[in-house]
Structure 1
Amino acid sequence: MIQLKEISKTFYSKKNEEVTALKGVSLEVKQGEIFGVIGYSGAGKSTLVRCVNLLEKPTSGDVVVNGASLKNMSKNELRKSRQNIGMIFQGFNLLKTATVYENIAIPLKLTGISSKEIPTRVEKYLAIVGLEDKHHVYPGQLSGGQKQRVAIARALSHEPDVLLSDEATSALDPETTHSILDLLLKINREFGITILLITHEMHVIQKICDRVAVMENGEVIEQGNVIDLYSSPKKRTTKKFVNSLFPNDLPKEILEQLKKRGPIISMTFVGTSADKPALSQLSKKFDVDANILSGNIVQLKDKPFGKLVAHIQGETEETDKALHYLKEEGVQVDEVEINES
């Protein structure tokens, strides 16, 4: 559905200094999936998502949406293609002096939708976002979450195949964020709309994304299925994001003392393995003591995912048997390095 091919973007400051925001970024978003791009401030995320509909024109590379290259389109062709790419922003971008109804109806009128069709669309999409009773209310009378729902309804009213989300939840409180993410998930499942979202919040990726790309300094440093990146992050930045959900703050001195009496392991549980009492069985099956040092179980989009750090105390032969048993039970086991803790 969306293909970014070796996208680079260079800006020039007022002093004519060259600033490279994107460096040869390539990724592909499949039809009907929710694809997340995560990175810290300055990673190039916002520039990347704005290149998808050419709000930012790439310095080099190509953008292909639904099989058509946007970069080679005329202004008129690009304008028509953009109607098929909805976008929601962190700041909502609503007209303050227009009602909720008008905020949705005016863009429809400007894109040539008939006056007979406009009320039907406004009604339909306000109902979808749960604001059917807010037609004549002004944005200043709405909460942040309600404003974002109006923005989503406005984007959906053009009936796009693709929805871009530029940090759409980062200005919202946690409870409202969850409700907006639930809404995006509902839209994706019921309408089959492909969603590309950018965020700096790992729980956004965790809750609704199928695949994810991690950005740093204008480059994609790692990408893949969410479960794969949670299970086996390769890059330091990816590990930092994942570890924010599974903190391990034990002092180095304590870990060093424990390791003298047996291995300290990190255990990753995915899907059904997260429901098995594998760790609790170790002391019953082998001559070892298993103590949990830290951990958490979270719900990914479709599967539970857990990560525990534990100390397995016992003789080497018995601890080896215990670790082998865990792996046979579908648990990913990695020994914790002290200098990474």
Structure 2
Amino acid sequence: MIEFKNITKVFHTKSKDTKALDDVSLHVKKGTIFGVIGYSGAGKSTLIRMANLLEKPTKGQVLFNGNELTKMSRGNLNIARQKMGMIFQSFNLLKTGTVYENIAIPLKLTGVPKKEIKERVNKYLEIVGLLDKANAYPAQLSGGQKQRVAIARALAHEPEVLLCDEATSALDPDTTEAILALLSKINRELGITILLITHEMNVVQSICDEVAVMENGRIIEQGRVIDLFSQPKTGTAKRFVQSLFNDTIPEELEKILKKSGQIVTLSFIGNASGKPALAMVTKKFDVYPSILSGNITQLKDEPYGRLVVHLEGSSSEVEKAVEDLTALGVIVERYKDGGDSHVG
């Protein structure tokens, strides 16, 4: 659907050149919700603006449905852009226009017939749950309602892709949850592909199928969301996951517990989260588990559980228990200062 091939973007100023993107390659598959996460300055916003060529790459290719945008004429590029709706953090609504007008005016500018404009505006206001607010002005709306208007405006062009630029960053947690549920519904029921950027791990957790982690203009890790949660490979990815699981234990306690066994992090994915794995290995081997911290969260399609456990026992018995836990579908990693490394 959307493909970035070896994208580099350099911003030139009188004082210096800044490389915002450095050889970035990414493929967003049709029908998926793809998240790009990173801290401020990672290059996320530049990347998403590259998807519809609001920013042009210094090097590399941007493809949409197999067609290279960077080689299109201005007319063909504008046609392609109409298939890509965009949602911004700041809503970008006309203060002097009603909700209806905020959605209708962009359609009018692209030549959509008046009758069809009315049908589309009402259709998408109903989808976002704001049909009764058609005659209200932005000043009369909450932040969440304003973002719903922005989503309806983007949908009214009947795009194949929604580009979401930190679409929930200005919202409170409850409103964020509602907007994410709406985006998930749009993806599921309308079949619209979504590419979103965020610095919030809960956004990725809630609705994304795949994710890429950015740092200093490069993609340092990418894959399925469940893989990022259960086996993050980079320090940045681990910090993002850790932001949802506050399972760091005091250093002094860690030193004491390691004298009588091993501290491990257990990740339970999908069906494995429903098995009494710890109870099973306790009966089978001479180990005594103590749960130091634990949490379970719902990813888009399956639950993910995480426990930090002290396995008391001899090295040989602990290793046997680890092997058995792994065979039961549990991902076992050695706990190390809030991070993890594989064991077994």
Q: Which residue of 2 aligns with 1:35?
A: 34
1:55-74 equivalent positions in 2, closer than 5 A: 55-74=54-73
Q: TM-score, normalised by structure 2?
A: 0.96
Aligned amino acid, residue 11 of structure 1? F
Q: Give the alignment's Cα RMSD to 1 decimal.
A: 1.3
Unaligned runs of 5+ in 2: none
Name the residue aligned to 1:4.
4
Q: Is the 8 A contact 2:247 2:338 kept in 1?
A: no
Judged with a 3 Å threshold, the aligned counterparts in structure 2 of structure 1 residues 133 and 340 are, in CA distance, closer, same or farther, namely closer
Counterpart amino acid of 1:240? R
Contact 1:265 1:310 in 2 (8 A): yes
Cα deviation, 1:104-153, whole Å, max 9, x if unaligned, reads 00000001101111000000000000001001100010000000000000
Q: How many residues align?
A: 340
Q: How far, CA to CA, are the matches of 1:340 and 1:187 in structure 2? A: 36
Partner secondary structure for residue 113 of structure 1: coil
1:228 partner letter: D
Aligned to 1:96: 95
- Contact 2:249/2:338 (8 A) holds in 1: no
8 Å CA contact 1:282–1:289 kept in 2: the answer is no
Deviation at 1:335?
1.6
- Between the aligned partners of 2:315 and 2:53, the Cα distance in structure 1 is 60
Deviation at 1:340, TM superposition (A): 4.5
- Is the 8 Å Cα contact of residues 256 and 338 (structure 1) preserved in structure 2? no
Task: Give the direction of change, closer, same or farther, for the CA distance of 1:20–1:338 in structure 2 (3 Å limit).
Answer: closer
Residue 339 to residue 223, structure 1, CA distance change in 2 (3 Å): closer
Match of 2:16 in 1: 17
Deviations 1:153-196 (A, max 9, x none): 00000000011000000100000001000000000011111100
Query: Contact conserved, 1:282 with 1:290, CA < 8 A, in 2?
Result: no
Correspondences of 1:245-324 after superposition (within 5 Å)? 245-324=244-323
Residue 77 of structure 1: how far off its partner (Å): 1.1
Aligned counterpart, 1:223: 222
My pick for the range that moved more, 103-112 or 326-335, is 326-335
TM-score by length of 1: 0.97
Pairs within 5 Å for 1:98-247: 98-247=97-246
More deviation, 225-234/194-203: 225-234
Report the Cα distance in structure 2 between the residues aligned to 1:323 and 1:6, rounded to whole angstroms.
41
Shift of 1:242: 1.0
Identity %: 63
The 3-state SS of whatever aligns with 1:62 is: strand
1:20–1:77 distance in 2 versus 1, CA, 3 Å:
same
| Distance (whole Å) between structure 1 residues aligned to residue 18 and residue 137 of structure 2 | 40
Uncovered stretches (5+) of structure 1, i.e. residues with no partner? none
